[in-house]
Every structure is written in C-alpha cells, then in structure tokens.
Structure 1
Amino acid sequence: MATKAARRIRIVVAGAGMIGQAHIQRILDEPEAELAGIVDTDPKFGEQAATLGVEWATTVDAMLDRVKPDGIVIALPNQFHFPAGKAAIHAGVATLMEKPVCDTVEEAVQLAESADRAGVPVLVGHHRRHSPLIQRAKQIIESGRLGKITAVNGMCWWLKPPDYFEGRNSWRREPGGGVVMINLIHMIDDLRNLCGDVVSVRAGVSNAARGLPVEDTAGAILEFRNGALGTLSISDVAAGPWSWELTSGENKAYPHTDQFCYLIAGQQGSLSVPRLEVWHHGKDGNWWSPIHVEKSFVPDQDPATPQSRSDPLTNQMRHFCEVVRGTAKPLLDLWGAARTLETTLAVKKAAATGEVVYLL
C-alpha cells in the first residue's frame, strides 16, 4: 500500500451544509486530496455521495469504521463538534474542525488533551489565518513598523437574508447560534492573531431588530495583554460595507467594497485591514506633522480594486493535507482555538452580567 507521502490524502466531510459543501468542493479541487465520504443524516447528501462515487454514512463513527480515512473535516452544527472530535481522535484520524471548536472551553481543553495524548493533529478552521491579507497585516505589525500597539477597532456590519435562519439552518435561531458565536468569533480570532491575547472584556448585545432568542448585534471593549484597547462592533441587521467578507474580496459570493473592517494603531503608525494602508507622520512626527500613507500588496491581490484573488479555504485545505502528511504543524491548534473560544464566550458573559470578565 502506498504511503500517505506518496498518494493523495483521503478525506471525509462530516456535515454537508453550506460550509461542508465549501470543504467538499475544495477537496475535489485539490490535487493532493481525494474525497472519501460524506457524513450527514439528510438522504439528499447520500444521493450527492453516490453521484460523486464516495461513501455515505449518517454518523461519524460509522464512516470512520467503514472508510478509515486519512483525515476528516468536521463541519457539523456546533453542538456536535465535541463528540465528533472525540470519535476522530479515538480513531487516530487527523482532523480539520470547523469553528467554534466546541460549545465550551472545558470541552475544547478535553479535546486538546486527548489529541496530545493520542498524537493526533487537529487543525481548527479559523480560515482567515490562511488569508494572504491577514498574513501580510501580521508581518507589518510584527515588523515593528507601527510601534507599540495602542488602539484597535473592528467592524462587521452586514445584512443577512431571512432564509439564513430557516429550514436546516433554524439552529442559528437558538443558543449556539447568533452573531457572537457565528461571526464575532472570527473577528476575535483575527485580532488575537494580529495583536495578541485578550485579558479582559466588556460587552453588550441586543436582539431588538429580529427578536430571535439569540443576539443580532453586539459591541465589546477588549483589553489586550500588551496594553492596547480594542472596540468591536458587529451586527447582521446593518446594511453596510464594513465586514471582512465584503472588504477582502476573498469570497466571491459577496459583493466587494473598497473599504476596511479593522484599524490597528501604534505610536509610529496605523494600519487599515484589509486595505493594508500604513499611515504615519514620518520619523519623530506628531499631529502637527504631515501624515503619509503607504500601500502594501500581496501576490494574489488586484492592485486596481484591491480585491484578493486568493481563497483562504483552498489554502487551508492545502495546509490540512500537509498536516495529515506530517510535514506541517496546524497553523491554529486546539489550544489556540480554545483561547479564541474563551474570549468569545467572555463577550456573552460580560453582556449577560454587565460586569468585566477577566481572562488569565
């Protein structure tokens, strides 16, 4: 039998909803990967599996017993991440786990400890870490070009359609859904990646627009370990151009806007993301000095728009193949994802209690 280093990586996808379908397509498009099966309780995805000539099962355990893949993508509803992750780790199968990694930090830590003991690599799907735009922003910040980071601002304002919450997506109306766990968690991971860990959170949420049991709007003040303060504003009932999806141009399903969604300021300069503009007063300058702007680009970026041509989900799948082969470590592992989850849940706790939530 050919070794994993000499053949395509056989991957199954558990959960064939919107994000699951995105992963299925990336596997089909990736020369290093091969789709081995689909796990979903809906019979229509059994028909999809038959059309693609791959296995179909209604449970992760059944699929792992039957197929014995090299890797598994877990794209199930959030509440099923923990049991599916345990099953994959127990079977010794490398895992790409969609975010949020689990419903609770305790579950995430249990998975991390189990994966460490079993020696099973788990990559968590905060896919923007695979974005060249985010990676370039991180390089600019880590180069010291901005100086000591002092202030951070993040915005995600967009307008979701009613069917986003209907049918098989009705779980988004219930606890575990809502804009904090579905969308704000991406923003928090972006800013943890760019600016470091968060040590305290103040927050408020509202469901006044839709009236669902879960929030549609949230605001938070974050204190970073480096002393910087950040403000985050997110709403999925806000018609506006300021969100990662609309500003980065990476997901072609969304209209592109020539705007930013993050601003990161330091004592020597400020950075807009994803525009990658650095604003500064020059050496020893201050507010009385002329202010200058310098633009950065990444290889897959259109200088005219500046729309990114790169697809982070494709980059992530390619990286996952490397993780399965053992030639790369997960860009974001379970421990890092647990920290992102902890910070995100702190937003919900701070909003519910009206108190500052402190993180170790």
Structure 2
Amino acid sequence: MNKTRIAVAGAGIIGRAHIDVLLNSPTCALAAIVDPSPAAEALATRCGVPLFASLAELNAADRPDAVVLATPNALHVPQALACLAAGLPVLVEKPIAPTVAEAETLVRRAEDSGIPVLVGHHRAHSPIMAKARDVIASGQLGRLVGVMGSATFYKPDHYFVDGPWRSQPGGGPILINLIHEVHNLRMLCGEIVAVQAFSSNAVRGFAVEDTVVINLRFASGALGSFFLSDTAACARSWEQTSQENKAYPSHDDEDCYVLTGTNGSLSVPTMRLKTYPRPEDRSWWKPFEAGTVGMVRDDPLKHQMEHFGRVARGEEAPLVSARDGLNNLRVTEAIVEAAARGCAVALA
C-alpha cells in the first residue's frame, strides 16, 4: 500500500516523538517538518524530509495527507483551523486549546466541516487502559464504587528554566499533566459531573500550582479522589509505572489508580485484581481471591499514529474526538475554578 503522508508541525519533545514513530511506521510516512526554529533544520536533514517555516508554506509546496500539531498550546486552535480550511485531517496534541471558549470554536468548525480531528490523548490507545476497561465492563468488580488516583513526580529546576512559561498561569500540572489523567478517569469511570479541589504553590512559590488534591463525582454515582503534584518525589504516576515511555525509570511495584467496586478492586497498571469468589458471601472478614490480569505493554504513541493513518484514510472515526478533548478541558477548568473558589463546581 502507499503510505499515508503525514507532516509534523513542531519539533520539540513531543514532536520528535511523533517523528520517530512515523519513521518506523509500516503504514504512514513522515512527509515534512514544520518549525521556524534553527534547530529544526538539522532534524529535517537527518530525517531526509523538507522543512517549512509555516503550515502555509507546507500546503503551498507539498500538501500532505494529514498533519500532526505538536506546537505550543496557544497555537493549537489557529493551526487546527488552518488545517481544516485546507481540508487536512489533523492530530492536535493535548490540550486541544488553552481555554474552553477556544476549544468550542474548533469543535464547531470540525463538526461542521466533517474533517476529522484526533486529539492526542495517547493513553486512550494504551493496551493497559484497554484491558482495565475490559475488566470493569466484565462485572468482576461488581458495581463501581470509586477510584483513588495519583500523578506524583518531581520536575527538576531546569524544566522551568528551559520553559519559563511553565511557572506561569496555564503552565502548571493541572493543564500540562492532569488533563491526561482526566481522560483516563473518564475512560475508566464515565463522565465527571462535579469536582472539588485544593491547590498549593507552597513548595516552589510560582504563580501557578505545584500540588493539587481533587474530589470527583461521576455520573454513575461513583466517587473519586486524586493527588497531583510535580514537586512530590514519589513514583505513583503513569509515566513511572506503565513502562510505556522508556525515558522514565519504571517502578513496577507501584500503581497510580485503584478502582474499587462492590465485589473487588483492580490496581492499575500492575493489574493486581482482588475479588470475592462468592459475591453472595462477601465480607471484610472473608479473604479475597487475588491474581494479576494478563495484558501486554506497548507504546501507545505507535498505536495512536496507526489509528491516525486510518482516520486520515477515512477508515475509522477518531477514537478521541475534538469534543472529547473539549470535555477533558472543561473538567480541568472546573478544577481550577473549584480550587480558586473553595467550593464544588458542577459540570453540565
């Protein structure tokens, strides 16, 4: 088959990750790199593809089949709108937009145009997440009661020196990191209908949060609690437990989610499962039947790119649509509001 030609806009950390996946894809090919920075020239030369300073230059010279936008958050909406205007399917990195209002504009345009937009919540393509959803759907846990989750890690000082915007409003772990967790929690537990939160910047003293604790209510009636911090030296985060991103050391004895139901619990990503063998005789005085759910580990970015190729070819609908990206952003904005106001915030 002829490979689907995909251009990548943005040659930063996540852009380079998409480029590496494309260079090794059996069905997609890297068509070009779009980035005005001097460093991008060497990368394009190494990859053997043309470099363009803008999407307009790309479309005028060498129109691809689709585009990946791995650019700064503030550029996501205008660049995605430009791709839609050119009739190009687009993969927009998370968050879909800096604000809900901007995201709503993109969602309307995408749905009106019929041109597919895939949002880069890559954990939606994780085999671990797929298996966890299967366990919940199977009924082994009984009725879902709630989830306890965490994303705790320590970002070094140079992370903020290299990107000063990360120490300013909009650059904290709620928008950068928590939005991944929100999508995971929605996949596992359903829609989030209300949130409460406390936030703190006591450790670093930046103009943005470094630690947040969150309570969640799901449409099913299940409840959740979540601890987020980018200044907590703790390995209970997806990156440090899933083994999906080799840039992070792995701690295979840790979990970042524990899902509990009326008949048992599942810890993710170790996939340790504890259930009562006889639901009619369940009690905290009775022992659990304990085991580990079998599953495979594989790079979700690779699966996401193969899916995007099928989306661009019209073979599949986006697994994470523009509206999904908007709904994730609504939850993060509600969490920011709840922390600022000190009260529960309901989501429509």
The 8 Å contact of residues 273 and 290 in structure 2, kept in 1 or not, is answered as yes
* SS at structure 2 position matched to 1:166: helix
Partner of 1:65: 60
The 8 Å contact of residues 93 and 121 in structure 2, kept in 1 or not, is answered as yes
Post-superposition offset of 1:206: 1.2
Partner of 2:51: 56
Post-superposition offset of 1:234: 0.8
Q: 1 CA distance for matches of 2:342 and 2:302?
A: 40
Post-superposition offset of 1:51: 3.2
Greater shift, 238-247 or 289-298, is seen at: 289-298
Partner of 1:304: none
Q: 2 CA distance for matches of 1:65 and 1:165?
A: 37
Runs of 4+ in 1 over 4 A off after TM superposition: none
1:342 and 2:342 aligned: no
Q: 2 CA distance for matches of 1:265 and 1:171?
A: 38
The 8 Å contact of residues 46 and 57 in structure 1, kept in 2 or not, is answered as no
Alignment partner of 2:321 out of 329, 333, 351: 333
Alignment partner of 1:185 out of 175, 179, 190: 179
Q: 2 CA distance for matches of 1:172 and 1:41?
A: 21
Provide, for residues 131-150 of structure 1, a one-character-per-residue CA deviation record: whole Å limited to 9, x for no partner. Answer: 10010000111112111111
1:354 and 2:348 aligned: no
Return the TM-score normalized by structure 1: 0.93
1:286 and 2:274 aligned: no
Q: 2 CA distance for matches of 1:177 and 1:11?
A: 28
1:122 and 2:117 aligned: yes
Unaligned runs of 5+ in 2: none
Provide, for residues 192-247 of structure 1, a one-character-per-residue CA deviation record: whole Å limited to 9, x for no partner. Answer: 01100001010111111112222111110000000011000011111112111111
The 8 Å contact of residues 78 and 102 in structure 1, kept in 2 or not, is answered as yes
Post-superposition offset of 1:268: 1.2
Q: 2 CA distance for matches of 1:158 and 1:180?
A: 13
Identity over aligned residues, as a percent? 44
Q: 2 CA distance for matches of 1:49 and 1:223?
A: 46
Post-superposition offset of 1:15: 1.1
Q: 1 CA distance for matches of 2:62 and 2:115?
A: 18
Partner of 2:77: 82
Q: 2 CA distance for matches of 1:336 and 1:18?
A: 24
Partner of 2:246: 252
Alignment partner of 1:43 out of 27, 38, 42: 38
1:156 and 2:144 aligned: no
Provide, for residues 289-347 of structure 1, a one-character-per-residue CA deviation record: whole Å limited to 9, x for no partner. Answer: 1122121111x3xxxxxxx3x10111111111111111111111011111111011111
Greater shift, 59-68 or 37-46, is seen at: 59-68
Partner of 1:172: 166
1:323 and 2:318 aligned: no
Partner of 2:127: 132
RMSD of aligned residue pairs (Cα, Å): 1.2
The 8 Å contact of residues 64 and 88 in structure 1, kept in 2 or not, is answered as no
Q: 1 CA distance for matches of 2:319 and 2:118?
A: 7
The 8 Å contact of residues 241 and 269 in structure 2, kept in 1 or not, is answered as yes
1:20 and 2:15 aligned: yes
The 8 Å contact of residues 281 and 287 in structure 1, kept in 2 or not, is answered as no
Post-superposition offset of 1:55: 2.1
Partner of 1:241: 235
The aligned amino acid for 2:151 is C
Post-superposition offset of 1:163: 1.7
Q: 2 CA distance for matches of 1:273 and 1:52?
A: 37
Unaligned runs of 5+ in 1: 1-5, 301-307
Alignment partner of 1:270 out of 255, 258, 265: 265
The aligned amino acid for 1:297 is G
Post-superposition offset of 1:114: 1.0
